[in-house]
A = this chain, B = another copy of it.
Amino acid sequence: MTDFLKDIKQIRFEGPQSDNPFAFRHYDADEMVMGKPLSDHLRFAAAYWHSFAWEGGDPFGGPTFERPWYPQTSMESAKLKADAAFELFEILGVPYFCWHDLDVRPEGASFAESRDRLFEWVDYVLPKMEKTGTRCLWGTANMFTHRRWMAGAATNPDPDVFAYAAATVKSCIDATVRLGGENYVLWGGREGYETLLNTDMGRERQQAGRFLQMVVNYARKTGFKGAILIEPKPQEPSKHQYDYDVATVYGFLKEFDLETEVKVNIEQGHAILAGHSFEHELHLARCLGILGSIDMNRNDYQSGWDTDQFPNNVPEVALAYYEVLKAGGFTTGGTNFDAKLRRQSLDAEDLVLAHIGGMDTCAAGLKAAARMLEDGALEGALQARYAGWETPAAQAMLTGDLEAAAARVEAEGLAPEPRSGRQERLEALVNRYVG
């Protein structure tokens, strides 16, 4: 046991009336909801990066945290960090974790050393995974922190950087496979531009498309059975990022014939920055058949950058899980907390409490969503609204031509009368379940 969490015991479910901050009030992993345990619905994953690699800095300030594994410059510190991480996973009872290569080990002096260190970390944590039962939800490559990536990875104007990105992703896929990871994620942190004046988007798009095809091919060649996921984000760090939102990613996948191979990992904060609600992005991905996994955090609605806060608003979270449930629930995906402590939350306790609060918010949200779906009132209202389309005549119109549809207007003297959209009634209905 490291010193980091030494005073904190296993977190247990105590029910809604508990006032013990170190207990779950809503998350009972074994509670059966719509026929399966809550833990199987939520598939929680902790994020290695924010919780263990981030030191509390922001654009105007340096590190605020003090952790036993700082400075994060040696494999010894990386192993101490892994020890603490798995202790947290176990204390929380999260079934999964997620990682970038840079989170788990410092870069080496050469690519080969960096890769070897990654595999050394894999060897180090495999027994821990075995012992604790914690699994890998996904792995990914950090291709945005080091200065070599400053102008992009796959979309870099320098083909050597493209090669370096290929080598990096290959090693991360290899590590993910060895860890039994259920997904592999690509977030294009620097795949975008700072100024159009030095950018050829057409060329960079072709590079990105071809890169993704190569990644898919390689992953399948290794026998990787999990999902390959793109994580949309509209901007930050770049002024504009190519994987702007779900709709943008879909067009990109279609262009490169990848829409059946690649899905999306959707983050609340990224949705907000793109001008969408979280449930919008989930709903759209569901309709397009590309909903893969989620990063559950929240953005401060008054901040124009990615704040990555732990979720705390049950009604909002309920609407998100409602989409997940309508999609049939997660298969390989899950709920990753891409959420970080505020930089003033210095204590180890804060890290634990933030996860408890987030997990409870998600559990309460998912259960509310399940009640909504089971009761069927919302779905019933939805179907009633579109019921007119279920007639053969209406369906026929969709397979006919414009003239035929137009002809009906005069033939039948159509003057369609609008019907109430009933928004406030439906909002009040939702509040029956989330309150």
Contact = CB atoms under 8 A, between A and B. Distances in A.
Contacts of A356: 428
Contact of A214 (B58, B235, B405): B405
10 contacts: A60-B144, A64-B150, A148-B415, A151-B344, A159-B393, A166-B406, A195-B426, A240-B302, A276-B302, A345-B421
Given A25-B432, A111-B410, A160-B416, 8 more contacts: A61-B237, A195-B423, A197-B382, A198-B385, A198-B422, A310-B424, A314-B435, A350-B424
Of the listed residues A197, A202, A431, the one surrounded by the most CB atoms of chain B closer than 10 A to its CB is A197
A1 interface: no
Interface string A54-84: 0010111111100000000000000000000
A32 interface: no
Contacts of A148: 415-418
Interface stretch (A87-95, A117-125, A178-186, A395-403): A395-403
A12 interface: no
A196 B248 CA distance: 20
Contacts of A389: 157, 159, 203
Interface string A206-241: 110010001101100000000000000011110110
Interface stretch (A2-10, A130-138, A250-258, A328-336): A250-258
Contacts of A206: 398
B236 A305 contact: yes
A149 interface: yes
A417 B361 CA distance: 32
Of the listed residues A198, A316, A435, the one surrounded by the most CB atoms of chain B closer than 10 A to its CB is A198
A137 B206 CA distance: 33
A373 interface: no
A346 B406 contact: no
Contacts of A434: 314
Nearest to A308: B59
A62 B146 contact: yes
A239 B302 contact: yes
A279 interface: yes
B158 A424 contact: no
Nearest to A390: B159
A162 interface: yes
Given A111-B414, A302-B239, A357 B427 contact: yes
Interface string A273-295: 11111011001101110000000
Of the listed residues A356, A421, A428, the one surrounded by the most CB atoms of chain B closer than 10 A to its CB is A421
A398 B313 contact: no
Nearest to A156: B416
A147 B235 contact: no
B151 A197 contact: no
Contacts of A315: 312-315
A260 interface: no
A147 B56 contact: yes
A386 B435 CA distance: 33
Given A59-B236, A420-B347, A402 B305 contact: no
